[in-house]
Protein backbone atom coordinates (compact mmCIF):
# COMPACT_ATOMS: atom_id res chain seq x y z
CA UNK A 1 0.00 0.00 0.00
CA UNK A 2 2.85 2.40 0.74
CA UNK A 3 4.31 1.66 -2.75
CA UNK A 4 1.17 2.97 -4.43
CA UNK A 5 1.10 6.12 -2.28
CA UNK A 6 4.64 7.12 -3.29
CA UNK A 7 4.07 6.90 -7.07
CA UNK A 8 3.15 10.05 -8.97
CA UNK A 9 2.78 13.63 -7.78
CA UNK A 10 0.43 15.21 -5.33
CA UNK A 11 -1.81 18.07 -6.29
CA UNK A 12 0.20 20.38 -4.04
CA UNK A 13 3.45 19.55 -5.87
CA UNK A 14 1.88 20.22 -9.27
CA UNK A 15 0.42 23.55 -8.08
CA UNK A 16 3.84 24.58 -6.72
CA UNK A 17 5.58 23.76 -10.03
CA UNK A 18 2.93 25.71 -12.00
CA UNK A 19 3.31 28.67 -9.62
CA UNK A 20 7.08 28.70 -10.14
CA UNK A 21 6.66 28.56 -13.94
CA UNK A 22 4.12 31.42 -13.81
CA UNK A 23 6.46 33.49 -11.63
CA UNK A 24 9.39 32.96 -14.00
CA UNK A 25 7.22 33.85 -17.00
CA UNK A 26 6.01 37.04 -15.31
CA UNK A 27 9.58 38.08 -14.56
CA UNK A 28 11.15 37.13 -17.92
CA UNK A 29 8.46 38.09 -20.48
CA UNK A 30 9.07 41.86 -20.29
CA UNK A 31 12.71 41.25 -21.27
CA UNK A 32 11.86 39.35 -24.45
CA UNK A 33 12.04 41.88 -27.30
CA UNK A 34 8.78 42.57 -29.07
CA UNK A 35 9.19 42.36 -32.82
CA UNK A 36 7.12 44.07 -35.46
CA UNK A 37 4.89 41.56 -37.22
CA UNK A 38 4.04 41.68 -40.92
CA UNK A 39 0.54 42.96 -40.15
CA UNK A 40 1.93 45.68 -37.87
CA UNK A 41 4.41 46.67 -40.60
CA UNK A 42 1.52 46.95 -43.03
CA UNK A 43 -0.33 49.09 -40.47
CA UNK A 44 2.66 51.49 -40.33
CA UNK A 45 2.59 51.72 -44.14
CA UNK A 46 -1.16 52.46 -44.05
CA UNK A 47 -0.67 55.12 -41.37
CA UNK A 48 2.07 56.78 -43.43
CA UNK A 49 -0.07 56.74 -46.59
CA UNK A 50 -3.03 58.16 -44.66
CA UNK A 51 -0.89 60.98 -43.24
CA UNK A 52 0.44 61.80 -46.72
CA UNK A 53 -3.09 61.78 -48.19
CA UNK A 54 -4.32 64.07 -45.42
CA UNK A 55 -1.48 66.51 -46.16
CA UNK A 56 -2.26 66.42 -49.90
CA UNK A 57 -5.96 67.02 -49.20
CA UNK A 58 -5.09 69.92 -46.86
CA UNK A 59 -2.94 71.50 -49.60
CA UNK A 60 -5.81 71.29 -52.09
CA UNK A 61 -8.45 72.41 -49.58
CA UNK A 62 -6.46 75.36 -48.20
CA UNK A 63 -4.92 76.26 -51.59
CA UNK A 64 -1.42 76.27 -50.16
CA UNK A 65 1.77 74.20 -50.09
CA UNK A 66 2.11 71.52 -47.44
CA UNK A 67 5.42 69.80 -46.67
CA UNK A 68 5.42 66.42 -44.95
CA UNK A 69 8.72 65.88 -43.11
CA UNK A 70 10.30 62.45 -43.53
CA UNK A 71 13.06 62.15 -40.94
CA UNK A 72 14.79 58.78 -41.39
CA UNK A 73 17.34 59.46 -38.63
CA UNK A 74 14.64 60.25 -36.05
CA UNK A 75 12.54 57.42 -37.55
CA UNK A 76 9.50 59.69 -37.85
CA UNK A 77 7.08 61.08 -40.43
CA UNK A 78 5.53 64.44 -39.47
CA UNK A 79 2.49 66.00 -41.03
CA UNK A 80 2.83 69.49 -42.43
CA UNK A 81 -0.88 70.20 -42.01
CA UNK A 82 -1.52 68.83 -38.53
CA UNK A 83 0.38 67.69 -35.46
CA UNK A 84 0.27 64.05 -36.51
CA UNK A 85 3.53 62.10 -36.17
CA UNK A 86 4.21 58.48 -37.02
CA UNK A 87 7.15 56.86 -35.22
CA UNK A 88 8.72 53.81 -36.82
CA UNK A 89 10.12 51.16 -34.42
CA UNK A 90 13.84 50.35 -34.35
CA UNK A 91 13.44 46.83 -35.72
CA UNK A 92 11.95 48.16 -38.98
CA UNK A 93 14.29 49.36 -41.72
CA UNK A 94 13.18 52.86 -42.69
CA UNK A 95 14.45 54.29 -45.99
CA UNK A 96 13.33 57.34 -47.92
CA UNK A 97 14.06 58.30 -51.51
CA UNK A 98 13.22 61.99 -51.72
CA UNK A 99 14.00 64.72 -54.25
CA UNK A 100 16.95 67.00 -53.52
CA UNK A 101 15.14 70.02 -54.88
CA UNK A 102 11.51 70.87 -55.43
CA UNK A 103 10.47 73.93 -57.45
CA UNK A 104 13.96 75.41 -57.33
CA UNK A 105 14.38 75.06 -53.56
CA UNK A 106 16.06 72.49 -51.34
CA UNK A 107 13.69 69.71 -50.22
CA UNK A 108 15.98 67.00 -48.86
CA UNK A 109 13.71 65.67 -46.12
CA UNK A 110 10.21 66.61 -47.24
CA UNK A 111 7.49 65.46 -49.57
CA UNK A 112 5.79 68.63 -50.78
CA UNK A 113 2.19 68.86 -51.90
CA UNK A 114 0.80 71.83 -53.84
CA UNK A 115 -2.59 73.49 -54.15
CA UNK A 116 -3.27 71.85 -57.53
CA UNK A 117 -2.74 68.35 -56.04
CA UNK A 118 0.68 67.72 -57.55
CA UNK A 119 3.80 66.91 -55.60
CA UNK A 120 7.56 66.66 -55.97
CA UNK A 121 7.16 62.96 -55.22
CA UNK A 122 9.12 60.53 -53.11
CA UNK A 123 9.20 57.00 -51.78
CA UNK A 124 9.24 55.71 -48.22
CA UNK A 125 10.29 52.06 -47.73
CA UNK A 126 9.50 50.08 -44.59
CA UNK A 127 11.04 46.60 -44.43
CA UNK A 128 11.50 43.89 -41.85
CA UNK A 129 13.14 40.57 -42.80
CA UNK A 130 10.59 38.84 -45.03
CA UNK A 131 8.14 41.73 -45.44
CA UNK A 132 8.31 45.18 -46.91
CA UNK A 133 6.14 47.99 -48.22
CA UNK A 134 6.82 51.11 -50.26
CA UNK A 135 4.70 54.21 -49.92
CA UNK A 136 5.05 56.00 -53.26
CA UNK A 137 4.04 59.57 -54.00
CA UNK A 138 3.70 60.32 -57.71
CA UNK A 139 5.31 63.65 -58.58
CA UNK A 140 2.87 64.50 -61.37
CA UNK A 141 -0.47 63.55 -59.84
CA UNK A 142 0.34 63.54 -56.12
CA UNK A 143 -1.26 60.08 -55.96
CA UNK A 144 -0.17 57.98 -52.98
CA UNK A 145 0.00 54.20 -53.19
CA UNK A 146 1.30 51.33 -51.09
CA UNK A 147 3.21 48.65 -52.95
CA UNK A 148 4.46 45.38 -51.41
CA UNK A 149 8.23 45.23 -51.61
CA UNK A 150 10.04 42.08 -52.72
CA UNK A 151 12.55 41.38 -49.96
CA UNK A 152 13.70 38.00 -51.30
CA UNK A 153 16.36 39.67 -53.48
CA UNK A 154 18.07 41.44 -50.57
119 found inside a domain: yes
Answer yes or no: do 6 and 63 share one domain. Answer: no
46 found inside a domain: yes
Q: What is the pLDDT of residues 40-80, one digit of tens each?
A: 899 999 999 999 999 999 999 999 999 999 998 899 999 99
Nearest to 35 by CA among 135, 130, 147, 146: 130
How many domains does one find in the chain?
A: 2
pTM of the entire predicted model: 0.75
Answer yes or no: do 65 and 7 share one domain. Answer: no
* CA–CA separation, 16 and 10 (whole Å): 10
* CA–CA separation, 55 and 47 (whole Å): 12
Nearest to 114 by CA among 96, 124, 97, 102: 102
Q: What is the pLDDT of residues 10-39, one digit of tens each?
A: 888 888 989 999 988 888 777 666 777 888
Answer yes or no: do 8 and 54 share one domain. Answer: no
Q: Specify the 3-state DSSP secondary structure of 132.
A: strand
Q: Tell me, what's the pLDDT at 13?
A: 85
Answer yes or no: do 52 and 115 share one domain. Answer: yes
Q: What is the pLDDT of residues 77-127, one digit of tens each?
A: 999 999 999 999 998 999 999 988 888 888 778 999 999 999 999 999 999
Answer yes or no: do 11 and 77 share one domain. Answer: no
97 found inside a domain: yes
Nearest to 132 by CA among 116, 111, 153: 153
25 found inside a domain: yes
Domain enclosing residue 18, as ranges = 2-31
Q: Specify the 3-state DSSP secondary structure of 103.
A: coil
15 found inside a domain: yes
Amino acid sequence: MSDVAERGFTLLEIVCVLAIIALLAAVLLPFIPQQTSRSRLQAYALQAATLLKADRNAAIRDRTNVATVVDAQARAIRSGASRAVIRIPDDVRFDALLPQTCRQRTALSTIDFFANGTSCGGTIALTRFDAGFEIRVNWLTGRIEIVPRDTSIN
